[in-house]
Amino acid sequence: MLKTFSSISQYIKIDIHRVIIDNFVFKLHYRLSFVILLAATLLITSRQYIGEHIQCISDAVVAPVINTFCFFTPTFTVVGNGTAPNKSLLSQQGIRPYDRETDTIKRHAYYQWVPFVLFAQAICFYIPHALWKKWEGGRIKALVFGLRMVGLAKYLKGKSLDVDNLNLPSIGFVEQRVRDIRRTMIDRMRLNQSWGAHLVFCETLNLCNLLLQIYWTNSFLGNQFISLGPKVLRERWVDKVDILDIVFPKMTKCTFFKYGSGGSLQEHDTLCVMALNIMNEKIYTILWFWYAVLLCLTILGLIWRVLTLFMYKNLFFSKWSLYWAKPGRLDDKELSAVIEKCNFSNWMFLFFLRSNLSEFMFKKIIYHLASEFPDPSDDNIINANWARKREHDDDDGITSYPKLDTIDAPLLHQRPTAATGGAQAV
């Protein structure tokens, strides 16, 4: 079994060095939901756990032929006048003689499509993350690169130290990185206005996708999925025909026609054992409860996002939020000076920096930003400063500087090396 699921093991590994660019609820969508649906797809397509997906009984038709035919052609059950009060009164729900003219039958064709639907749903849960990762552009990773072990920097005098896969930066390296982060934050203050909007859009897209998957699954199972969970809890443990026996019948009927020796058309009424539905009922029951939990958490996550959108300027709220991102104390005056000059995108940028950096490093960044963040009341103060510097240099015959709008964050193109403590072009 472990070998079967080895292909999805890469998605469930816990990497302590992974850079955080989203929150816990977001991860539940593109990691846990994605893994659950992929595992279900592999389970359904693996014959070693359930044997043949369908086995049909027929006295006059060769077994492989009737099995293949009934798997490709929807099987059916006979709809009764009511639910049997006790399981012992009948062998299987929907298995009895029927009249084509008067009886109603229910066709079951979903089992042919289950692996395709589950895989498509897994892809849908990953799409919002892929969009956010593209829009985020690796900025957070570029800024926090090599800063995991800065707490030990004071013990290293002039050189960085590599131990296995860990890099212990020197104090000079840390100071250079603080300056780089400060410069990047200031340079991008007027250029990342859509950064926060993209994050909110992707989080909202997670909710829309979840609702779509619930609706899609409900339609796929004949409008029985919405009420599946409560009915399972209420009916599964009593001696009555429950919802799983109705939605996922273990035995169905199949009609096969062939010409006899005399040329007349013969009808063969076949009984089929649906081994595949043993797994289907468990997969969709688990999915119901998982979707219910995920829906509640997603709504709570969006409520949290609305609170951050309207309260990020509040000092107490920002202190509590940044402490929740990673515990540590911050100077109230310095933090207040920074958040007063931040818009929502800048604040979210700081939030994810705090999630990835130690208290020591983040306090240094806040200290520098408190006195150097541009005033948001000046609509384009950074470009204005570049323009004044360019005009001054033009008068002196020096090559003019480019506009800020053509300059990207320096750490997106440069990464410091442990040997130099400076910046090296990639």
Backbone torsions φ then ψ of 423, nearest 5 degrees: -120, 135
Nearest residue to 36 via CA among 288, 386, 345, 395 = 288
Q: Residue 304 in contact with residue 324, Cβ under 8 Å?
A: no
**Mean pLDDT confidence for 64-80:** 81
- How many Å apart are CA 225 and CA 326, to the nearest integer? 40
Record the tokens describing residue 352, joined without a space: 């994810």
Place of tokens 């999805």: 8
pLDDT in tens, 286-328: 999 999 999 999 999 999 999 999 999 999 999 899 888 888 8
Examine the pLDDT at 346 and tell me if it is beyond 80. yes
CA–CA distance from 270 to each of 91, 95, 237 (Å)? 16, 11, 30
Upper half-sphere CA count for residue 99 (Cβ side, 13 Å): 3
pLDDT of residue 148: 56
Q: Encoding tokens for residue 20? A: 């955080």
d(CA 78, CA 85): 17
Q: From CA 167, how far away is CA 27, in angstroms rounded?
A: 27
pLDDT, residue 374, reads 53
Residue 93 · residue 249 · CB < 8 Å: yes
Contacts of 151 (CB under 8 A, 6+ apart): 358, 360
Q: Which of 34-43, 206-215, 247-256 has the lowest mean pLDDT?
A: 247-256
375 CA to centre of own chain: 37
Overall average pLDDT of the 379-391 stretch: 48
Q: Given pLDDT bands bounded at 50, 70 and 90, which one contains residue 400?
A: very low
pLDDT score recorded for residue 75: 83
Cβ–Cβ contacts within 10 Å for residue 407, how many?
14
Q: For residues 375 and 372, give the distance between their C-alpha atoms in angstroms, rounded to a whole number.
A: 9
Which residues, other chains included, contact 413 with Cβ-Cβ below 8 Å and sequence gap of 6+?
A: 425, 426
Contact present, 347 and 318 (Cβ < 8 Å) = yes
Per the listing, tokens 């042919």 go with 112
What does pTM read for this prediction?
0.75
pLDDT at residue 204 greater than cutoff 80: yes
The pLDDT of 38-53, averaged and rounded, is: 77
